[in-house]
Structure 1
Amino acid sequence: MDGPPVIWIALAVAVIIALPFVIEATRKPMTAKARMRAPGAFAQLSQGATHYRWYGPEDGPIAVCVHGLTTPSFVWGGLAKGLTDMGFRVLVYDLYGRGFSDRPGGPQDHAFFQSQLNDLLTDQGVQDDITLIGYSMGGAIATRFAAQQPQRIRRLILLAPAGTAPVVTGLLAFAAHTPSIGRWLMLLRYPTVLRNGLKREQSQPSSVVGINAMQEAELDWRGFVPAVWESLCGVLAKDMRTEHEQVQKGSIPVLAIWGEEDSVIPLRSSQVLRTWNNHVQTAVVPGAGHGLPYSHTTDVLKHIDSFLNDRP
């Protein structure tokens, strides 16, 4: 009498467990055909293909931009134009697992992202005198690079940089700290979390046309959600105190720009950063949330221009 119900319950549990993995397996792979519509070019690096794009005059000083956890290099569209107007030669690229770059498996820790950045700079013949710009998780990646190779960095610009406080809380934090079921939870819940966040931002202005739709479209590609989870478990699981202290010792000029209303990396993080590097120049963009590079592009560029010209 008890046999059939037990079997059905077991089957239901098996379906629930398998469903997120099945959905992930049916997402579109990043293929050569998909890459035909990509702007820019590709570099075959040690961990896979990396999509990159140059903006601006070939003889300009080089600015390298590192994007954040979920939004690929298209996030720099508005800022890159402003930087080229300042005379910069701007390099943007997609971190592994995002945009048109490859989706290699395994941990996404600091060593993983440093290898990609080092490989790309070598491939492109970029040596030193770099203005390095990092947004959100890209701020942590950029800071680590500057701390390890200060001789290559002219200045460091950080936009709502990660590494001063936990980026996620609640269920996603549990997923990031519970490897046994964390990947399953991410595959199950993260697409809804991201879509809900994008809906809340629909009314924001943007210097990147259609950025919300492009962000949501990342969920269509196989490997994106696992990459986000690996980054939460890896590079974003560590604070950046040691690296910021090393940056100060290396005498690298640093500008940190914060959104006044950022709920992802709140403004109080600026105070933490100043305790680690009391030479950092701080700027706050009124009314800006975490999307300040594209929602408040003009304000961000004004602060960068002042920093470049040593104006308060």
Structure 2
Amino acid sequence: MIWFLLLGMLVVAIPLVIERNRAEMEDADRGSASGQFAELPDGVTHYEWLGPAQGPVAVCVHGLTTPSIAWRAVARGLASMGYRTLTYDLYGRGYSDRPSGPQDRQFFIKQLQDLLEDQDVTGSFTLLGYSMGGSIATCFAAAFPDRVERLILLAPAGMGLAQNKLVDFMAKTPVIGDWLMLALFPPTFRRGIKAERDTPVQVPHIHDHQAEQLDYKHYVPAVLASRRGILADVLRDEHRAIQSFDIPVLAVWGDEDQVIPASAIGSLAEWNRTAEHEVIAGAGHGLPYTHGPQIVAAIKAHISATP
């Protein structure tokens, strides 16, 4: 019996020990990053500007698991269109700090507000959001409609997630859910990255950057905190408010997306009847790094149609 007890304790301890021994994100790790760093009230935020210094501003918000490098191809396309384009790493990802606590809409909105203030962005701008970043961008636009000239959403969350009983259990169950996340998410995430490695991309080494996230402490807990936080919100009222504020909206979807359910298109179309939709054939959930040129073309067409 004692051996079974010891074995059980070992099994329980392994994920905790692995997380404890992961590296902290420190200045030495940030030395290889392009862009710059801002000391914001809640932690260091990694950011990068692309495009002409005097161009209209576009701000890109990335998703749950892949940091801001996911935007590289789209950001360069926006820069070529004349936009001064800002990308940044959300807390818990990339080269930004990993503060603990809930990751709800106010957590992410405050980071964006603090960064805009730090960078002296005082006027209105075009706001882009990918996946979870779509939820963040939607909440920001609904809260500050005078700041957002145009909202562009790529495979956005906020219309309900694809059902997964295990993930739902982890999100709803403290302690046990936290342990399961530490034990199960890393190998699952690695398998997903491996399955996508043969997919053509416009962001070099994107899969390596995704995998590197697991090297750092607090990344896995951040993913779970977001799943419990902002990703638990259904943004019906926010999208209806955005329509009432006459903010132009373009939503771009992949017709083979297995993360955001197909029903999301219908939900957004119902909540905001003025939103424009573009569905990219053959695209999965990695839209900004697998179909960058098509996204930039869709943005150009949208802007031409809605000055």
Q: Same fold (TM over 0.5)?
A: yes
Is residue 164 of structure 2 the alignment partner of residue 189 of structure 1?
no
Question: Which segment drifts farther, 58-67 or 291-300?
Answer: 291-300
Distance 1:77 1:95, change over 3 A: same
Is residue 210 of structure 2 the alignment partner of residue 215 of structure 1?
yes
State the aligned residue count: 306
Question: Which segment drifts farther, 93-102 or 175-184?
Answer: 175-184
Is residue 53 of structure 2 the alignment partner of residue 58 of structure 1?
yes
Q: Which residue of 1 aligns with 2:142?
A: 147
TM-score, with structure 2 as normaliser:
0.97
Task: Report the RMSD for the aligned CA atoms in angstroms.
Answer: 1.1
Alignment deviations for residues 217-238 of structure 1 (CA, whole Å, 9 cap, x no partner): 1111111101001000111011
Report the AA paired with residue 151 of structure 2.
Answer: L
Task: Give the alignment partner of residue 180 of structure 1, picking from 175, 189, 198.
Answer: 175
Runs (4+) of structure 1 moved beyond 6 Å? none
Identity %: 50
Alignment deviations for residues 279-303 of structure 1 (CA, whole Å, 9 cap, x no partner): 1001100110001111111111110
Q: Answer whether contact 1:71 1:98 (CA < 8 A) is retained.
A: yes
Task: Give the alignment partner of residue 298 of structure 2, picking from 280, 303, 310.
Answer: 303
Task: Give the alignment partner of residue 281 of structure 1, picking from 271, 276, 281.
Answer: 276
Q: Tell me, which stretches of 5 or more residues in structure 1 are unaligned?
A: none
Task: Give the alignment partner of residue 16 of structure 1, picking from 2, 6, 11.
Answer: 11
**1:53 positional shift:** 0.4
**1:180 positional shift:** 3.0
TM-score, with structure 1 as normaliser:
0.96
Q: Which residue of 1 aligns with 2:238?
A: 243
Between the aligned partners of 2:289 and 2:35, the Cα distance in structure 1 is: 20
Report the AA paired with residue 268 of structure 1.
Answer: S
Between the aligned partners of 1:209 and 1:283, the Cα distance in structure 2 is: 25
Between the aligned partners of 1:61 and 1:107, the Cα distance in structure 2 is: 33
Q: Which residue of 1 aligns with 2:263?
A: 268
Q: Which residue of 2 aligns with 1:108?
A: 103
Counterpart of 1:309 in 2: which secondary structure?
helix
Between the aligned partners of 2:39 and 2:164, the Cα distance in structure 1 is: 36
Matches within 5 A, 1:40-189: 40-167=35-162, 169-189=164-184
**1:102 positional shift:** 0.2
Between the aligned partners of 1:123 and 1:254, the Cα distance in structure 2 is: 27
Q: Answer whether contact 2:15 2:182 (CA < 8 A) is retained.
A: yes
Q: Tell me, which stretches of 5 or more residues in structure 2 are unaligned?
A: none
Is residue 259 of structure 2 the alignment partner of residue 253 of structure 1?
no
Q: Answer whether contact 2:151 2:247 (CA < 8 A) is retained.
A: yes
Counterpart of 1:230 in 2: which secondary structure?
helix
Alignment deviations for residues 242-263 of structure 1 (CA, whole Å, 9 cap, x no partner): 1111111111000000001101
